[in-house]
Amino acid sequence: MENINKSIQCTVEQCRHHCVNCDYCSLDRIRIGTHESNPSQDQCTDCLSFSAAY
């Protein structure tokens, strides 16, 4: 049974760290960053712990 971290909600089902059949991450912690020089909205941020599903 994989870990479900209820402190990290996530809807990215294509990530290998996404728990099956629930909207949570399975990692203990994640790293967030940005690809923008001056982020101004949520689309500017990225989950740097994302990893494509198998």
Q: How far apart are CA 30 and CA 10, in angstroms?
A: 11
Out of 1, 2, 6, 15, the only residue in the binding site for ligand SF4 (CB under 6 A) is 15
Is 46 a binding residue for ligand SF4 by CB under 6 A? The answer is no
Q: Does 43 bind ligand SF4 (CB under 6 A)?
A: no
According to CB under 6 A, which residues from 17 to 36 bind ligand SF4?
17-18, 25, 27, 30
| 8 Å CB contact between 10 and 23 | yes
**Which stretches of 4-51 are assigned E, i.e. beta strand?**
5-9, 24-25, 32-34, 45-47
- The reply on whether position 12 binds ligand SF4 by CB under 6 A is yes
